[in-house]
A and B are shown apart, each in its own frame.
Chain A
Amino acid sequence: MHPTRTGAAIVLDTLESLGVETVFGYPGGAIMPLYDALYDHRMRHVLVRHEAAAIFAASGYARSTGRTGVCIATSGPGATNLVTGIVDAMMDNVPLVALTGQVRTTVMGTDAFQEVDVAAITHAVTKRNVVVRSIDRIEPAIRAAFRLASGPRPGPVLVDLPTDVLRAVSESVAQIHVDHERTERKPLADPRSLDAAVSALQGAKRPVLIVGGGARWSGATAVFRAVASRIGAPIAATLHGLGCAHHDDPAFLGMLGMHGWKRANLAVANADVIVALGMRFDDRVTGDPAKFAPNAHTIIHADIDASEFNKVVRAQIPLHGDLRETLVALDHRLARVTLPSFADWRAQACAQDEQLPRDDARDEHLSATDFLDALLAALPADAIVTTDVGQHQMWAAQRVRANHPQHFLTSGGLGSMGFGLPAAIGAQMAHPDRMVVAIVGDGGFQMSMAELATLRRHELPVKIVLLDNRNLGMVRQWQELFYNARYSATSLPDNPEFTTIARAYGIEARIVDHASAIGGAVARLLESPGPMLLHCACYPHENVWPIIPSGKSVDDLLEAIPA
């Protein structure tokens, strides 16, 4: 008699054979067979309190490791609650596999209880998705999902699993092949284009390197640093490129774009050659594309995805290929030529605005930026910082001292509030011995606050820094600047006692509300052995400076409220 396995057991065995140790999920009717199989399986399952947190946690796991994250939800509302996280992963190129339960195949299409066509819903926002209609297709579908999710340009893949397929029994002997995630089919940049890039650099007077999230996903951090050192040009980073250059590299100008450092934006504006590496010229980076890098006669754009070329900004030299391989090839070529010295240009570009502009009037209140300056300076070098979305996110991005792109995790393309805490949970599960800090605002935290229970259950020592300005601060700032200070639906004077809530979940909580208490509060936070919430009661009207208004250029940069 042959051993038998259910479809659900095949799912778990296949995941395990692919190296998956941890999954994040929430059970429900159609996915119950999979949860029944989990009951006595080695797979570690993290029960969250909302499916959106499951996929954000899987995203934090993936972003902090480079490995594919896995989340599980049931059919209907469970599946639809994943959609924001799926889009988030699509926009930020995060390798994720979402497993959803589905009603049994015999009732699909009949509007059965908790039936939704999640494959149709997510068709435009996944790399691929599939409804698995027979038990023999489970393993091939999951293996294909992992290959697709992890490369060449990573992203989310959804596998929809009808409940009868999960319950079905296979009599075939299990044949699980160890098939680690492949990174195949990577294109290599055209040698002539690489030669042209070298020539452009040889003729350059004011080159600037811009590094983006592609460096993270291609594992190009080390070779990027080598190439950047060889060229000697100033370096700017996109939000997802932070950490690719060492934060204290004297050539590093900081983040580029709407809330980037003025010197980074000015350097790009004055550059004659731009070397854009694994970035997609997001509108938050370029502002008005017609005014982006107006003095650059040559833009060299390296990307794995050919559809990114000339999408927003025209590149004279596209380098289509895996970024790491492209940089290795570029490094070999650069080693054989002599580049002009860009030392004077680098010094000029880096000399400007060594301090970020900030609001002065704070009365006796706590400044969020003062707090972040102290916190980020005190973190261990290998700490992982996650953020939510809004003012605190930009303040953190301006200041973070990331030494590696996997040290700073944030929702960039989609800008999903509620990301910070669950992403920290995922990162902490992947890195139990490292410090993980979730920097969140009072708006976003209240979208995922129930995950305090997940912290408690798994004894995850995540440090939550809640920058509470009793406002949806970024929207409030835009209302102040661009909507005649008409503060529509952005005030949160009725925020709860966050420390009381945290303690109700069994989590240590403290409050800091004055500048003189910052040092002690940071020290207490970092010394705490377990999870902790630090509620920072901040000055409510502090703004993020500088700002280049949407669709404008560095010429329109603001460093304070216009007089």
Chain B
Amino acid sequence: MRTVTATDGRMLARIIHLAHRFGCTYTKVASERNGAAYHMELAFAGPGDALRRLDAHITKLLDDDGETME
């Protein structure tokens, strides 16, 4: 399970696309908006290396999400 907080509401879609690209699937997706942020709970299944790569990519995406663009 990974908890994600992002300002870009489309982050969920991007993460799910990445997961499928890496050969993973999601087993749980929950998201709700709280003020200007979106709080997400995500769980994935897949090969260990792919899950680690996905996790690293999510961290990178969240780092970029720190810049307020909208």
Residues of B within 8 A of A137 (CB): 70
Residues of A within 8 A of B69 (CB): 128, 130, 140-141, 144-145
B14 an interface residue at 8 Å Cβ cutoff?
yes
Contact between A130 and B70, CB atoms less than 8 A apart: yes
Interface of B is mostly: helix
Contact between A307 and B17, CB atoms less than 8 A apart: no
Residues of B within 8 A of A306 (CB): 56, 59-60
Binary contact readout B38-53 vs A (1 if CB under 8 angstroms, 0 otherwise): 0000000000010011
Contact between A148 and B67, CB atoms less than 8 A apart: yes
CB distance from B23 to the nearest CB of A (A): 13
Contact between A307 and B57, CB atoms less than 8 A apart: yes
Contact between A307 and B64, CB atoms less than 8 A apart: no
CB distance from B52 to the nearest CB of A (A): 7
Binary contact readout A143-154 vs B (1 if CB under 8 angstroms, 0 otherwise): 011011000000
A176 an interface residue at 8 Å Cβ cutoff?
no
Residues of B within 8 A of A311 (CB): 53
Residues of B within 8 A of A309 (CB): 56
A124 an interface residue at 8 Å Cβ cutoff?
yes
Contact between A123 and B67, CB atoms less than 8 A apart: no
Contact between A127 and B17, CB atoms less than 8 A apart: no
A295-328 with Cβ < 8 A to chain B: 305-307, 309-311
A115-143 with Cβ < 8 A to chain B: 119-120, 123-124, 127-128, 130-133, 137, 140-141
Other than the given A128-B69, A311-B53, 19 more pairs (CB < 8 A) read A119-B10, A120-B10, A123-B17, A124-B17, A128-B8, A133-B70, A137-B70, A140-B69, A141-B69, A144-B67, A144-B69, A145-B69, A147-B67, A148-B64, A306-B60, A307-B56, A307-B57, A307-B60, A310-B53
Residues of chain B whose beta carbon lies under 8 Å from any beta carbon of chain A? 8, 10, 13-14, 17-18, 49, 52-53, 56-57, 59-60, 63-65, 67-70
Residues of chain A whose beta carbon lies under 8 Å from any beta carbon of chain B? 119-120, 123-124, 127-128, 130-133, 137, 140-141, 144-145, 147-148, 185, 305-307, 309-311
